[in-house]
Structure 1
Amino acid sequence: MTDTQQRVAMGYIKGVFGIKGWVKVSASTEYSDSLLDYPEWLLSKDGNTLTVSVEAGKVAGDELQVKFEGIDDRDRAFALRGYTIEIPREAFAPAEEGEYYWADLVGMSVVNRDGIVFGQVKNLLETGANDVLVVEGAYGQKLIPFVSQYVGEVDHDSRTINVDWGLDY
């Protein structure tokens, strides 16, 4: 079993579809069908974890509909409602040069050019124009646009993001 620190939540099962075991999925990925790139999912809820294999999947409107192997009726599918979908981090494809998985950025320390540690990345926001780092620490919450104008080096080894951002911004 994969350590929970190495699993990334990618959405949840929000309901059932039809009578043959299909579920409706709310994906927290850029493209909902990208979850179908992973043949096995870990489902977790209330301390329980199940491993399921994706048999089939399709996008219908703005939702993802998925059929798991061995889940063949509405009742068994309904029992999965509310489970969080997790994917082992090691299953992710390598990020392209200059691109990052949000899951890798969360928890990193953010330091400006003057050596002031703002805190840690708690989340990222998608604004449409660009992503924004949500940083919390001793100086409160800072919202820093994740663009090259403000973000310098992202050092995976030291888990640090260097930014050109002032305390008074």
Structure 2
Amino acid sequence: MGKLLKPKGLQGELRAVIFNEFGSALKVETEIWLKTEEVNYFSWKIETIRIAGEKSCIKLSGCNTLEDAEKIQGLGFFLPRDKFEPIEENEHYLVDLIGSHVFDENKKSLGTVLD
């Protein structure tokens, strides 16, 4: 869904890259999951969010200081599958394509979709 970047200000807000900035699934009170390098997941609720491409900002409940924000900067964040927005027929979420083999129109292998 996205990645937390560097802290913005002193109140625990972080800049973020949101991979689907057109979606409406990310809003105040939405529960997201942060993934650590050790592949542990932690649940946080969104307190405030402003989606604006590479200048998006997010504040999570309980993240109230610069030090709190520094502890979680750089982590990826995800939504539980039941919170995904509905998609049209023949549309796919990227997560569903990971591990798929990709071929060109001549059936030449181009590689595998990675995370």
Structure 1: which 5+ residue stretches go unaligned? 1-9, 108-119, 122-134, 136-141, 145-164
Q: Which of residues 46, 68, 88 in structure 2 aligns to 1:96?
A: 88
Whether the 8 Å CA contact 1:44–1:83 is kept in 2: the answer is yes
Q: Which of residues 36, 45, 65 in structure 1 aligns to 2:26?
A: 36
Q: What RMSD over aligned residues (CA atoms) do the two structures have, in Å?
A: 2.5
Give the aligned partner of residue 106 of structure 2: 166
Give the aligned partner of residue 113 of structure 2: none
Give the aligned partner of residue 18 of structure 1: 9
Higher relative contact order (CA 8 A, sep 6+): 2
Distance in 2 between the 1:61 and 1:26 partners? 7
Distance in 2 between the 1:168 and 1:65 partners? 41
Identity of aligned residues (%): 26
Runs of at least 4 residues of structure 1 off by over 4 A? 32-35
Alpha carbons of structure 1 residues 89 and 28: separation in structure 2 relative to 1, 3 Å: same
Partner of 2:67, secondary structure, is helix
Q: How far off its partner does 1:63 sit?
A: 1.8
Give the aligned partner of residue 66 of structure 1: 58
Q: How far off its partner does 1:34 sit?
A: 4.4
Task: Give the structure with the larger strand fraction.
Answer: 1
Which structure has the greater CA radius of gyration? Answer: 1
Distance in 2 between the 1:104 and 1:33 partners? 17
Structure 2: which 5+ residue stretches go unaligned? 110-115
Partner of 1:20, secondary structure, is coil
* TM, length-normalised to structure 1: 0.54
Distance in 2 between the 1:94 and 1:60 partners? 22
Partner of 1:82, secondary structure, is coil
Size of the aligned set, in residue pairs, is 107
Alpha carbons of structure 1 residues 104 and 60: separation in structure 2 relative to 1, 3 Å: closer
